[in-house]
Amino acid sequence: MAMPAHTAAITEVEAAEHGLTVLEYARICEVLRRAPNFTELGVLSVMWSEHCSYKSSRRLLKNLPTRGPRVLQGPGENAGVIDIGDGLAVAFKIESHNHPSFVEPYQGAATGVGGILRDVFTMGARPIANLNSLRFGSFDHPRTRFLVNGVVAGIGGYGNSIGVPTVGGEAYFDAGYNENILVNAFTLGVVRSDRIFRACAAGVGNPVMYVGSKTGRDGIHGASLLASAEFSGAAEEKRPTVQVGDPFTEKLLLEACLELMEQDAIVAIQDMGAAGLTSSSVEMAGRGGTGIIIDLDKVPLREINMTPYEILLSESQERMLIVARAGAEDVVRRVFAKWDLDASVIGHVTDDAMLRVMCRGTEVACLPIALLTDEAPAYERPAAPPADFEEQQELQLDRIPLPGDYNETLLTLLDSPNIASKRWVFRQYDFLVRSNTVVGPGSDAAVIRIKGTHKGVALSVDCNSRYCALDPYVGAMIAVVESARNVVCAGAEPLGITDCLNFGNPEKPAIMWQFAESVRGIRDACVALGVPVVSGNVSFYNETEGHAIPPTPTIAMVGLLEHVDRHMTQWFKAEGDSIVLLGRTREELGASEYLALAHGLVRGAPPWIDLDVEKQVQRVCLSAIAEGLVRSAHDVGEGGLAVALAECCICGPGPDLGAVIELEGAVRPDALLFGESQSRILVSLRRRNLGRLRELATAADVPFALLGEVRGRRLVISPLVDVGLEEIQRAWATALPRRMAV
Amino acid sequence: MRWGVVTFPGSNDDHDALYVVDHVLGEDAVSLWHKDRDLKGVDCVILPGGFSYGDYLRCGAMARFSPIMESVVEFAHAGGLVLGICNGFQVLCEAGLLPGALIRNRGLQFVCTRVHVRLEETETPFTCRCTRGEILTIPIKHGEGCYIADAVTLDRLENNHQVVLRYVDTSGRATAEANPNGSLNNIAGIVNEQRNVFGLMPHPEHATEKLLGGEDGLKLFQSLVAAHGEGAQRRVAALAPGH
């Protein structure tokens, strides 16, 4: 093979600066039988980066269950797709944009939303709902307010402008994220099940077309340098690697792509996200087993004198690469011209399994596609639990004093930013546009109707990273089952998940162990519930100055309601209704919000979880909702039963409703009230339905306890708690705005 | 009745408006494209919510120059019914069809929430099926919905009974707390002097189905249908033999 002209060979030092190890670089030289030139080095470094190659995670991810009778597309495409009947399917995925959001919160979060939206409409799906999972540092940290403001405004700025509702999500605050926040964005779209588009380049000679925004110098090396390496304190210096979003152009791109997809013009389509033109062309050729040649002189540019290296690695937003059917070029051009967007043929599909890049008549890069995709490195990194793993799990309950004033403790918990109302956040998001939002932010799960059917989907995103820090296996299992429980509480059957696995540096054995344990937990929970993983994303190197974030395997669950008008919400509906707890309360306080807030302790084993019991509890709840027995259903989560009861009283859109509860149990009172035992659901129902619900529970061997009834203007849990709803409402509603206003 | 919904690049709630007219009202709805001049013989034009042309300049400042707006202005001057919702209201102000302007919310944040608005005027084709003083619950979702006008304009609007909707609390008082964006006089929606052009920040099209949380917005659409029907009857009567 002739050495491409136009470029000088590079050195190991330059390779190291591009994040390639000595061994990786040696392997490249060996396969190529020459040293790569500078342009090729850029291409190799991004494709072999952790972000694009999943080199530390690929082998473990293979263990996840990805199939099911409804799965039309599993992991490996731009998004996963699940059949929902009536000739329709839902495409969805979650993705991280952590480092960019820490460096430049508004644009980082905004382009995170833009990226995940493209992943979904690339599949031919019309995006109808966004969620996000946000992790910030403690409010004691001076940068937290700035980051919260910027990230929330950025998510709103992009989602609101493009007209896709942000219908739910979570916001979590923990000092473990002080120097490395997490922004995970999720999009779900609806697609006709026979019109799913994939990113698999086929048909030698078919034109490769570039559509959307012009290419600039923004975001160069976002994937390799920003997303695939630890952080140092000098975040400012990395601002040029953050992309800048333009939701208006993306709106045009979205409409143009969906319009074009109505016609028979597209063979394959992929978003130019991380690693831009490089990864989109290489991955499409990789999936198709073909080659691809592109001519950089044809790429629409917004800056002059851009080098091949810059054009190939730019992460300018709002761009797509299309392999069109030969002869359909004008159809593509016509649709994009209608929406005032660029569309130009920049190359074609070849049969030589090579990526060839031309610039001013010369070949500036020539690399085997396989070397950039399947043959990219995959490591089995050493994994070992941290030295203090077992010590951290120890918790001597008899050394923990009982609270003096349970009212006070309840109000303290309701004032915790992790438990308090997130209205300050979600009122900045348009959660109504597209007229499908049946249940918006603020209940266990959002519910979105599917127009043209009687169906709806329920969506929830969850992860308790304190559980994961103390036991990543159990924590990840709980993330899966809790997200399932949340969609069940909305009346939906869990369909499938997408996961966003946020971890520290995988080259450290303790981190790799957290990762492996989390994947094992997700697998076991998914297998038990019969729920496949259809898409996902791994974000490593969430570390700053050597401090890793708590392991955070975020799970987004999608559930299906056959009849959306039978959806359920979490708040009490009427005075006089009975209140029932399904599931057992154990004497456990480990890893709880109560322990952290009231005793300053982050330790102990996370709550015990039995997947069979969990499944039964969820089944009983689903049947009860399907039979129309219950009027509210709420997952018991952080803060335990007392917090769950308080939420049922005050979080509805109507007037607040009190409750009178008799609690008894063989466990200590603080565990009874604030313990976070899993597999528990709080329901309210008309008294006449109690018998039937008890039958359902007994048949499934699910503990059933009549706790009391909806009554009055106070929450009374005798003999421990007696608080007025105004006081509860004040603590819960003002916690976030008060902290943000400082 | 034939309704037209304009799609500017960046319009978002155009789909929602079309859906309400077509699926909820069961009326005839057509989509109007910003590059066209043809209003396709519609009886009412809706300028929908969204971020026309990205709204990177002032909201609505670009949209007013689009070809379709020339026809909409002409249509409005001839007495045609024009309903501008959110971004549509901003476009109507920029186009000079309504007085005043909409600026950044006083709180500086985008706000999406259900608000209460008091119905001030029923003598308009947009509200003829409502009751004066009735309180509607309708969502808002905007970052730039603070209505302002100079004192003379404001007086004229009030004296001419052009203020149609006002932000109020649950008991109907137009307090500062009930004002979500800082609008002068708690103004949520106004009509022009001829009362055929209505702009409002709340989204009636997002309050038309029980399943989605409420139907109060439907009254505005039903008013238009009724007003159009009466207008048509008057026209028929005017043409009837014997006149």
Write out pLDDT tens, residues A111-126.
999 999 999 999 999 9
Report residue A309 as tokens.
């290296």
Interchain CB contact of B113 with A (< 8 Å):
yes
DSSP helix/strand/coil, A489: helix
Distance separating alpha carbons of residues B120 and B164, to the nearest angstrom = 5
CA distance B10 to chain A (A): 6
Q: Residue B225 phi/psi, 5° resolution?
A: -60, -45
What are the residue ranges spanned by the domains of chain B? 2-239
The pLDDT value given to residue B238: 65
The pLDDT value given to residue B158: 98
State which amino acid sits at residue A523.
R
CA distance B235 to chain A (A): 36
Write out pLDDT tens, residues A158-193.
999 999 999 999 999 999 999 999 999 999 999 999
Distance separating alpha carbons of residues A477 and A522, to the nearest angstrom = 5
The pLDDT value given to residue B243: 45
Contacts of A509 (CB under 8 A, 6+ apart): A381, A382, A383, A384
Tell me the pairing of strands A166-173 and A126-136: parallel
- b/e map of A149-170 (b: 16 or more CB within 10 Å)? ebbbbbbbbbbbbbbbbbbbbb
Look at residues A341, A296, A343, A337 and name the one whose alpha carbon lies nearest to residue A324.
A343
CB of A493 closer than 8 Å to CB of A457:
no
Exposed (0-12), middle (13-18) or buried (19+): which is A37, by Cβ within 10 Å? buried
DSSP helix/strand/coil, A129: strand
Residue A639 falls in which region: left (phi positive, over 0), alpha (psi -120 to 50) or beta: left
The model's confidence at residue A274, banded by pLDDT at 50, 70 and 90, is confident
Interchain CB contact of B110 with A (< 8 Å):
yes
- Does position A204 have pLDDT exceeding 50, yes or no? yes
Q: Residue B200 phi/psi, 5° resolution?
A: -150, 145
Q: Round to the nearest angstrom and report the end-to-end CA distance of chain A.
A: 64
Between chain A and chain B, how many beta carbons pairs sit less than 8 Å apart? 88
Write out pLDDT tens, residues A376-389.
999 999 999 999 99
The pLDDT value given to residue A2: 38
State which amino acid sits at residue A533.
V
**Top-confidence residue, A193 or A545:** A193
CA distance B137 to chain A (A): 12
Distance separating alpha carbons of residues A23 and A28, to the nearest angstrom = 9
Instruction: Tell me if B12 and A162 make a contact (CB, 8 A cut-off).
Output: yes
Residue A441 has what DSSP assignment? B
Interchain CB contact of B205 with A (< 8 Å):
yes
- Does position A7 have pLDDT exceeding 60, yes or no? no
Instruction: Tell me if A163 and B54 make a contact (CB, 8 A cut-off).
Output: no
Q: Where are the beta strands (DSSP E) in A370-507?
A: 437-439, 446-449, 456-462, 493-502
Task: Return the active site residues of B.
Answer: 86, 203, 205
Distance separating alpha carbons of residues B206 and B20, to the nearest angstrom = 9
DSSP helix/strand/coil, A277: helix
CB of A589 closer than 8 Å to CB of A595:
yes
Q: Round to the nearest angstrom and report the end-to-end CA distance of chain B.
A: 25
- Over residues A693-712, mean pLDDT: 98
- Does position A6 have pLDDT exceeding 60, yes or no? no
Write out pLDDT tens, residues A212-234.
999 998 877 766 666 666 766 55
CB of B208 closer than 8 Å to CB of B22:
no
Test the A interface: residue of B18, B22, B141, B171 with most A CBs within 10 Å: B141
Cis ω before A606 (30° cut-off from 0): no
Helix (H) or strand (E) holding B213: none
Instruction: Tell me if B50 and A163 make a contact (CB, 8 A cut-off).
Output: yes
The length of chain A, given as a count of residues: 742
Instruction: Tell me if A435 and B9 make a contact (CB, 8 A cut-off).
Output: no
Q: Residue A178 phi/psi, 5° resolution?
A: -50, -40
Helix (H) or strand (E) holding A274: none
Instruction: Tell me if B141 and A432 make a contact (CB, 8 A cut-off).
Output: yes
Write out pLDDT tens, residues A53-109.
999 999 999 999 999 999 999 999 999 999 999 999 999 999 999 999 999 999 999
Instruction: Tell me if A436 and B110 make a contact (CB, 8 A cut-off).
Output: no
Instruction: Tell me if B16 and A434 make a contact (CB, 8 A cut-off).
Output: yes
- Over residues A515-544, mean pLDDT: 97
The pLDDT value given to residue A4: 42
Look at residues A492, A388, A396, A380 and name the one whose alpha carbon lies nearest to residue A444.
A492
Tell me the pairing of strands A342-350 and A291-295: antiparallel
Q: Residue A514 phi/psi, 5° resolution?
A: -55, -40
CA distance B233 to chain A (A): 33
> Could you tell me the pTM of the whole model?
0.95
- Does position A261 have pLDDT exceeding 80, yes or no? yes
Interchain CB contact of B112 with A (< 8 Å):
yes
Distances (CA, A) of B163 to A610, B169, B208: 61, 17, 23
Which residues of chain B are within 8 Å of residue A145 when distances are taken between CB atoms?
A: none
Under CATH, what is the fold of the domain B2-239? Rossmann fold (3.40.50)
- Residues of A contacting chain B (CB within 8 angstroms): 153, 156-157, 160-163, 246-249, 251-252, 339-340, 426-438, 449, 451, 564-565, 653
Write out pLDDT tens, residues A390-428.
999 999 999 999 999 999 999 999 999 999 999 999 999
Cis ω before A719 (30° cut-off from 0): yes
Q: Tally Cβ neighbours within 10 Å of residue B153.
A: 14
- Does position A551 have pLDDT exceeding 90, yes or no? yes
Token pair 């007229």 in the structure block, residue? A435
Test the A interface: residue of B8, B11, B12 with most A CBs within 10 Å: B12
The model's confidence at residue A635, banded by pLDDT at 50, 70 and 90, is very high
Which residues of chain A are within 8 Å of residue B112 when distances are taken between CB atoms?
A: 160, 426-432
* Percent of chain A whose pLDDT exceeds 90: 91
What does pLDDT average to over chain A?
94
HSE of B70, CA atoms in CB hemisphere, 13 A: 7
The pLDDT value given to residue A243: 79
Distances (CA, A) of B193 to A443, B102, B123, B160: 44, 19, 12, 7
Which residues of chain B are within 8 Å of residue A339 when distances are taken between CB atoms?
A: 9
- Does position A131 have pLDDT exceeding 70, yes or no? yes
The pLDDT value given to residue A3: 40
Option in A340, A438, A449 nearest B9 (CB): A340
Interface of B with A in 49-88 (CB under 8 A): 49-51, 53-56
Instruction: Tell me if A339 and B9 make a contact (CB, 8 A cut-off).
Output: yes
Distance separating alpha carbons of residues A544 and A177, to the nearest angstrom = 10
Distance separating alpha carbons of residues A283 and A200, to the nearest angstrom = 8
pLDDT by residue, tens only, chain B of 243 residues: 999 999 999 999 999 999 999 999 999 999 999 999 999 999 999 999 999 999 988 899 999 999 999 999 999 999 999 999 999 999 999 999 999 999 999 999 999 999 999 999 999 999 999 999 999 999 999 999 999 999 999 999 999 999 999 999 999 999 999 999 999 999 999 999 999 999 999 999 999 999 999 999 999 999 999 999 887 677 666 665 544
CA distance A165 to chain B (A): 10
Q: Tell me how many degrees the CA angle A44-A46-A48 measures, rounded to the nearest 5.
A: 65
Interchain CB contact of B215 with A (< 8 Å):
no
Option in A157, A433, A449 nearest B211 (CB): A449
Option in A156, A248, A339 nearest B110 (CB): A156
Which residues of chain B are within 8 Å of residue A564 when distances are taken between CB atoms?
A: 211
Report residue A494 as tokens.
């869990």
Option in A156, A251, A564 nearest B10 (CB): A251
CA distance B55 to chain A (A): 8
Distance separating alpha carbons of residues A641 and A404, to the nearest angstrom = 18
Interface of B with A in 130-169 (CB under 8 A): 139, 141, 143
- Does position A437 have pLDDT exceeding 50, yes or no? yes
DSSP labels, A185-215: EEEEEEEETT--------STTPEEEEEESPB
Write out pLDDT tens, residues A303-322.
999 999 999 999 899 999 99
Report residue A206 as tokens.
């078919």
The pLDDT value given to residue A220: 79
Instruction: Tell me if B112 and A161 make a contact (CB, 8 A cut-off).
Output: no
Option in B112, B114, B212 nearest A430 (CB): B112
Instruction: Tell me if B13 and A433 make a contact (CB, 8 A cut-off).
Output: yes
The pLDDT value given to residue A1: 36
The pLDDT value given to residue A178: 96
Tell me the pairing of strands B28-33 and A578-582: unpaired
Task: Return the active site residues of A.
Answer: 51, 97
Which residues of chain B are within 8 Å of residue A247 when distances are taken between CB atoms?
A: 51, 54
CA distance B109 to chain A (A): 7
- Does position A8 have pLDDT exceeding 70, yes or no? no
Residue B21 has what DSSP assignment? I
Interchain CB contact of B29 with A (< 8 Å):
no
Q: Tally Cβ neighbours within 10 Å of residue A214.
A: 17
Least trusted range by pLDDT, from A244-248, A600-604, B194-198 = A244-248
Option in B16, B51, B143 nearest A248 (CB): B51
CA distance B26 to chain A (A): 15
Option in A162, A430, A435 nearest B19 (CB): A435
